């Protein structure tokens, strides 16, 4: 296994362990099924890319891993919330996620709705309760993630996505959509790492740009995968975007140009890291840029 | 108009004004409809009881009104989020709220889902950005509201509500349900007022109990109103609980005993305030106890 894949998998294991510890698991009470459904979606694996970015940027800025683990767990909870609600019948109406039945298929629509709601709240609660960081850091973390996930960030991106169905949109509009829907959480992940390491404003701005740039590259790679990969490999239903008439980078640019665009974004993202001195974290983040555009699922 | 109603209406006006200022209103971008739908639900009036409680407890603890206004606005946003999701087809499937079409009837189910999601995040963001309070107070506020609204609080209560449909539940189970579903946000409101005034732990505990006790009384009064009032007066569809076979205090205790129980809770809540010295806020909160069980909508 490469240096990068070893590091990614070690970080994913740390994230899983932290989530396992932090997610409520009591089986008492009529509402225990709600907690069970939250755990179902949060602890269903996944690459933990967002948690990985929190940890790498924390290391890049000279912070200690343990200081950022609750932030890493919190952003994975926020991501899981967005997936649960995105899969609901009134949204993408998807039945398969990471090769498993989606939350509403398993627990019913009402419980899935509440599980998403409660996860989003629990994500911010987890940030606010990070005992390794001080009150000001935790408050910065809450401000950041609530803003980036909210109506000007991820939720705003999902709304644009809804408005764009069965409509040809321009490339810059698609970029705005992706920056909000996908990029915002990646940017939040990178910045959360900086906050845990001491909250340097200049480093945070670089981290934000790295998150957005790689987020865009990630989405283009996703569009390309959606074209070729099987449901088995993807762990979700492929070809949904084409079916719902949504514009993608592939439909707008064609396959070859989309690939070239992803590569140029990958290069830009690496250049952003030039302001940081050499470190394992920097090397790993450069390899991350290559990974997101070459992965097969 | 009575001393109490004047005060309630002045506080509601302050809450409305603060919400009007804080809720995003930009009409730019494909996602502007999301912000419009958030504003639709948040700025649709209502008695602003939760904001009122924030302000009264802040005054009771010697705090300044302006210090608690963002908290008062934030809890009304959280309340509006819960109403939007509660009204969705997969939940109560209601079409009428405060005499107006519910959010999903007006904007469609997907936008209503996202509006609720974004409001919940924006509520916590608003608490975190209260410039009149320090970082520690704001962090306490975020911890409190995220916990009380989440899987052990309001969302947990909604889950119990789902599990209890078409089922006879015992009085203590119904109380747990109501403490979580309704009481938690009232308790959060009272405690947020204390936090804005300086965060005295003992006062917060009294505030919490006052919120839970009056929350229970409020729900019993709601059950009684649901029995007799018209849709016009209630601004929502009456008789929904009986229809879905849910246990209520009226179905469990009968009308007379339910009324007596509400009165005794009202008395208990007033007694909790004995630890505070005399003030307009104390007098107003005593009148609030009477108000919630005698209101006609």
| B32 inside domain | no
| B267 inside domain | yes
The residue of chain A with its CA nearest to that of B117 is A117
| B29 inside domain | no
Q: Tell whether B93 is within 8 A of chain A (Cβ).
A: no
Between the alpha carbon of residue A8 and those of residues A2, A46, A270, A280, B226, the distances in Å are 10, 12, 17, 12, 56
Between the alpha carbon of residue B9 and those of residues A120, A242, B72, B294, the distances in Å are 33, 53, 14, 17
Rounded to the nearest 5 percent, the helix, strand and coil shares of chain A are 75, 0, 25
Q: Tell whether A38 is within 8 A of chain B (Cβ).
A: yes
ipTM value, please give it: 0.95
Amino acid B18: pLDDT: 98
Give how far the C-alpha of residue B151 lies from the chain's centroid of Cα atoms, to the nearest Å. Answer: 17
Amino acid B165: pLDDT: 83
Confidence of residue A158 (pLDDT cuts 50, 70, 90): very high
Supply B171's token pair.
């009085």
Helix intervals (H) in chain B: 3-22, 32-42, 49-60, 65-87, 103-107, 109-128, 135-149, 154-163, 171-178, 184-196, 201-228, 231-234, 240-243, 249-253, 255-272, 280-294
| Residue A295: pLDDT over 90 | no
Q: B residues 178-237 near A, CB within 8 Å?
A: 180
Residue-range definition of the domain harbouring residue B75: 3-24+43-294
Amino acid A235: pLDDT: 62
Amino acid A214: pLDDT: 98
Distance CA A247, CA A171 (A): 9
- pLDDT 10s digit of each residue in chain B, 297 long? 799 999 999 999 999 999 999 999 877 778 899 999 999 999 998 899 999 999 999 999 999 999 999 999 999 999 999 999 999 999 999 999 988 999 999 999 999 999 999 999 999 999 999 999 999 999 999 999 999 999 999 999 999 999 988 788 899 999 999 999 999 999 999 999 999 999 789 999 999 999 999 999 999 999 998 887 665 665 666 566 666 678 899 999 999 999 999 999 999 999 999 999 999 999 999 999 999 999 877
B194 burial level (CB within 10 Å; 0-12, 13-18, 19+): buried
Q: A residues 136-155 near B, CB within 8 Å?
A: 136, 138-139, 142-143, 146-147, 149-152, 155
Distance CA A275, CA A117 (A): 39
> Chain B contacts of A168, Cβ < 8 Å?
none
Q: Per the structure, how many domains does chain A have?
A: 1
Confidence of residue A241 (pLDDT cuts 50, 70, 90): low
Taking an 8 Å cut-off on Cβ atoms, the answer to whether B121 and A124 are in contact is: yes
| B37 inside domain | no
Distance CA B126, CA B76 (A): 11
> Which backbone phi and psi does A278 adopt, to 5 degrees?
-65, 140
- Residues in Cβ contact with A264 at an 8 Å cutoff, skipping those fewer than 6 apart: none
Q: Do A100 and A58 touch, CB atoms closer than 8 A?
A: no
**Residue count (chain B):** 297
Supply A85's token pair.
């609600």
Distance CA A212, CA A180 (A): 9
Confidence of residue A247 (pLDDT cuts 50, 70, 90): confident
**Residue count (chain A):** 297
| B55 inside domain | yes
Q: pLDDT (tens digit, 9 = 90+) per residue, B172-224?
A: 999 999 999 999 999 999 999 999 999 789 999 999 999 999 999 999 999 99
Q: Beta strands of chain A (E only): which ranges?
A: 96-97, 100-101
Supply A245's token pair.
């008439």
| Residue A27: pLDDT over 90 | no
Confidence of residue A39 (pLDDT cuts 50, 70, 90): very high
Closest C-alpha to A178, from A157, A200, A149 = A157
Distance CA B7, CA B41 (A): 24
| B189 inside domain | yes
The mean pLDDT of A180-209, rounded to a whole number, is 96
| B199 inside domain | yes
**B232 half-sphere exposure, CB direction, 13 A CA radius:** 0
CATH number, residue A234: 1.10.600.10
A162 → closest Cβ in B110, B152, B162: B110
């Amino acid at each position: 296994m490469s240096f990068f894949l070893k590091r990614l998998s070690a970080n994913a294991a740390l994230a899983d362990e932290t989530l396992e510890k932090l997610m409520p698991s009591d089986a008492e009470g009529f509402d225990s099924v709600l907690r069970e459904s939250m755990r179902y979606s949060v602890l269903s694996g996944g690459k933990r890319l967002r948690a990985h970015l929190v940890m790498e940027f924390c290391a890049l800025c000279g912070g200690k891993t343990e200081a950022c683990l609750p932030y890493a767990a919190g952003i994975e909870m926020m991501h899981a919330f967005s997936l649960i609600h995105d899969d609901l019948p009134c949204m993408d109406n998807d039945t398969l996620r990471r090769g498993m039945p989606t939350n509403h298929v398993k627990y019913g629509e009402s419980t899935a709705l509440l599980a998403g709601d409660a996860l989003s709240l629990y994500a911010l609660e987890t940030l606010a309760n990070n005992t390794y960081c001080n009150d000001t850091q935790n408050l910065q973390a809450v401000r950041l993630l609530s803003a980036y996930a909210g109506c000007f960030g991820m939720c705003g991106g999902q709304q644009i996505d809804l408005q764009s169905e069965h409509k040809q949109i321009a490339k810059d509009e698609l970029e705005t959509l992706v920056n909000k829907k996908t990029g915002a959480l990646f940017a939040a992940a990178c910045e959360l790492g900086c906050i845990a390491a001491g909250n340097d404003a200049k480093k945070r701005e670089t981290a934000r740009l790295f998150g957005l740039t790689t987020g865009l590259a990630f989405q283009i790679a996703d569009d390309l995968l959606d074209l070729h990969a099987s449901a088995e490999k993807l762990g979700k239903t492929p070809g949904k975007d084409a079916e719902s008439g949504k514009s993608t980078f592939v439909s707008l640019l064609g396959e070859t140009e989309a690939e070239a665009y992803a590569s140029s974004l990958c290069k830009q993202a690496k250049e952003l890291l030039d302001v940081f001195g050499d470190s394992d974290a920097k090397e790993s983040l450069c390899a991350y840029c290559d990974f997101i555009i070459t992965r097969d699922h």
